[in-house]
Amino acid sequence: MKKNQFLTVRIESLTGNGNGIAHSDGQVIFVPAVACGDLCEVKIIKVKSSYAVAKVEKIIEFSPDRIQNACSAFPRCGGCSFQHISYENELSIKKQTVIDAVSRIGGLSVRVNDVIPSENICCYRNKAQYPIGEKDGKIVFGFYGTHSHRIVPCDDCKIQPEFFNRIMQYVTCFFNDKKLTAYDELTQKGLLRHCYLRANKQGSVMLCLVINAKSFEYEIEFADYLSNLKEVTSVYLNFNCNNSNVILSDDFKCIYGEEYFEDEFFGLNLRMSPDSFYQVNRSAAETLYKTAFTLLDKKKYENVFDLYCGVGSIGLSFAKYAEINDIQYQRLIGYEVVEKAIISAKINAERNGIKNSEFYVGDLVNPPKEIMEKYPPSLVIVDPPRKGCSKQLVEFFLSMEIPEILYISCDPATLARDLKTLSSAYDMSDITPVDLFPRTAHVECTVRLCRTGTRNTVINNR
């Protein structure tokens, strides 16, 4: 097989990130933006010792799973992987991704349930981070291309709310009218870096403009300009002069409206700062948490720990669920590295009437040994970032003999890695995937672990 060679191949399956898999003369070929069953003429663009990569030149025969792609930026944009196939097929691929991770990475034989679908597969995101660039001397916004920081202009993203696109078009008019410049990563010059939007359940929007400067000469005019949009209820500036890929710095300034963002979630009223973590698909996140909590079969706990707690959304949702379902617990303890998130978590507990709760700042690379020794946990809830729990934390769970762990994961690979280690001392429930990110390659999972010999009942389907 050679570079620039043309082949006719049948797509046999799709990977979890949406690449098609085909074979020719025993060689594996990865082909982006295809559907399982497509018969394609492809051009080889990369050849490695164990695989090749090709691009589609022509689809000769279409897969029955293929649907009409309605997004002008797909597949050039790196956000979505499955705009071109049926949602049923997407869910099947995501389930197989979890199965493969658990068996291949974890070496485990654990049942994986069907993926719980999202209520909405378009316009579901409550947050968007738009990189800003220039094209033909004009400011444009969009998303990064796959595996690059090349901006693909997009003003009609199908998974963002329609009003996000309108707001960005309105904002871009201001930028072009003032002849502002976009930040260039190579030269580190230019002003505008990102525009970040977050919407609550009522449709109110917080807008944050990220700039490569310590001040913004048009801040009063920009705030007045945005006040004409009824959806925009607060405007922030974020001053980020760092030469890095990190979108936000710690330097914020509210120039219009409310200082904090508020939203309704799981029967709670949550308050958060602009940089607080918050699930982007509200209704699907509520489904995820409820699915996790229903795995619990005990009706009484002592100390419940919510690790990686953020603004308290999971722990406080557990408290709400416990109240409704007659689950007793003595104390809820949240732990999180971001100090501003902990401040919000304490306020959120107070404003929602959840009194038996405490929140602490700390890095979970170094487990909260002193607090857990003071308040021995009977249940630990973890929802780590994509890199999973730290090795130290997993080993700490084993050494502390934590009776019960409720693990919520946003990455099947790191979940499988952590379960492999924990399986030496814990029995596991079925793994239930929940789709929080339709049309993308991401899938969330939840699983309950009970220390061997400590569980009340037989774990589901084990």
Return the active site residues: 410
Judge contact between 365 and 388, C-beta under 8 A. Answer: no
Judge contact between 427 and 402, C-beta under 8 A. Answer: no
Beta strand 261-265 with 268-272 is: antiparallel
Residue 197 backbone phi and psi in degrees, to 5: -120, 140
Beta strand 20-24 with 127-135 is: unpaired
Beta strands in 65-190 (DSSP E): 127-135, 138-144, 151-153
Angle subtended at Cα 9 by Cα 6 and Cα 12, rounded to the nearest 5 degrees: 150
Query: If you search the block for the tokens 């010999």, which residue do you land on?
Result: 453
Residue 284 backbone phi and psi in degrees, to 5: -70, -35
Q: How far apart are CA 372 and CA 153, in angstroms?
A: 49
Angle subtended at Cα 272 by Cα 269 and Cα 277, rounded to the nearest 5 degrees: 110
Judge contact between 164 and 95, C-beta under 8 A. Answer: no
Judge contact between 40 and 58, C-beta under 8 A. Answer: yes
Query: If you search the block for the tokens 């993203």, which residue do you land on?
Result: 157
Q: How far apart are CA 438 and CA 80, in angstroms?
A: 8
Best CA proximity match to 130, nearest among 82, 182, 81: 182
**DSSP structural state of residue 137:** T
Gyration radius of the chain over CA positions: 24
Residue 77: strand pairing partners: 145
Q: How far apart are CA 434 and CA 48, in angstroms?
A: 35
Best CA proximity match to 446, nearest among 435, 461, 438: 435
- With a CB cutoff of 8 Å and minimum separation 6, the contacts of 187 are none
